[in-house]
Amino acid sequence: MTDPLASFDALELSLSFADVEPGEGQRWTTWPTTIPTQRGPHPLPDWVVTDAGALDTELGILKTGKEADVFLLERAVPGDPAQRTLLAAKRYRGEQNRSFHRSAMYTEGRSTQNSRDARALAKKSSHGREVAASAWSIAEFDALTRMWELGAPVPYPVQVNGTEILMEFVGDDAGTAAPRLAQVRASGEELAGYYGQIVDLMRIFAAAGFAHGDLSPYNLLVHEGRVRVIDLPQIVDLIANPQGLDLLHRDCVNVCDWFTRRRVECDAEELFAELLAASYT
């Protein structure tokens, strides 16, 4: 005979799961709404939560930027501690709120396929601003994907959805973000090590025919001794973009200026020449 109390417990349990609803600052995971091209490269790291029962919880803002804001997000399956992950959510704002410093120079040579979108962009309507912001998020997601696949130290891109990119959070389990290189206190030896890592990642970009295009100690994070490069929407094609080599040169100067001031030996012209050579191999 079955124990009536045991079946009562099971009923309670299933009811309590059915009761889970997103609360304040929560939503259902947006993973199931994405299509394969909006998802990160395979193989997916084992920490990526793909369960449709997961909730996304806003944990606060990490940084407001010139064109996007970056938030800390938890994606977790309620009641399953094994399926919990922290993500950085980078949300692009519409064109009216962002500075135009990146726009024209970087987008030369790119086109908009959809003519309704092209007209909206030209008219600067609110749909147009949305299209522009999504174009930047897609550009950054694609750049992260490409560089991840080449083995560059970028945060793993989990998904892109409209104006929002979800990527690996670079920081600790408690939600403290890794410092930018600009804020790191390090010995001369450590700095020399970071410089070496930066040259390596610049070489990966160059060998693939790209420059970061906005490389600076603010777009490099240092986590557990490893340098990660972020903020890739404006990644520049060295050949197709007429400004490609100038932007690569500027990246070299930005990096070397910073290290030279900290007494790490670094010659921007030598670095530029080395990266150019790497780009032709």
Ligand X SMILES: Nc1ncnc2c1ncn2[C@@H]1O[C@H](COP(=O)(O)OP(=O)(O)OP(=O)(O)O)[C@@H](O)[C@H]1O
The amino acid at residue 215 is L
* Alpha-carbon distance values, 113 to 110, 132, 135, 230 (Å): 10, 13, 11, 27
Nearer to Mg ion by Cβ, of 120 and 232: the residue is: 232
Let me know if 56 is a catalytic residue: no
Is 231 catalytic? The answer is yes
Tell the smallest beta-carbon distance from residue 181 to ligand X (Å). Answer: 10
Q: Which of 84, 119, 180, 262 binds ligand X (CB under 6 A)?
A: 180
Tokens 């083995």 — which residue? 151
Q: Produce one character per residue of 182-205: b if its CB has 16 or more CB atoms within 10 Å, e if not.
A: eebeeeeeebbbbbebbbebbbbb
Q: Which of 127-135, 201-209, 212-220, 267-275 is the region at the interface with Mg ion (rule: CB under 5 A)? A: 212-220
Q: Which residues pair with 27 in a beta bridge?
A: 56
219 counts as binding Mg ion under rule CB under 5 A: yes
- Per-residue binder mask for ligand X (CB under 6 A), 126-165, x = binder: -----------------------------x----------
Q: Which is nearer to ligand X, 170 or 198 (CB)?
A: 170
* Residue 162, CA atoms < 13 Å, CB-side half-sphere: 11
Binding window for Mg ion (CB under 5 A); candidates: 15-23, 69-77, 100-108, 211-219: 211-219
Residue nearest to ligand X (CB): 65
Map the footprint of ligand X across residues 71-90, applying CB under 6 A.
Answer: 88, 90
Distance CA(196)–CA(200), nearest Å, equals 6
Helix (H, G, I), strand (E, B) or coil at 264: coil
Report the nearest approach of Mg ion to the CB of residue 213 (Å).
11
**Does 91 engage in binding with ligand X (CB under 6 A)?**
no
Residue nearest to Mg ion (CB): 231
231 binds Mg ion (CB under 5 A): yes
167/190 Cα distance (integer angstroms): 27
Residue 169 contact among ligand X, Mg ion, none, beta carbon within 5 to 8 Å by kind: ligand X
State the DSSP H helix or E strand holding residue 70, giving kind and residue range, or none if neither: strand 68-76
Active-site residue numbers?
214, 231
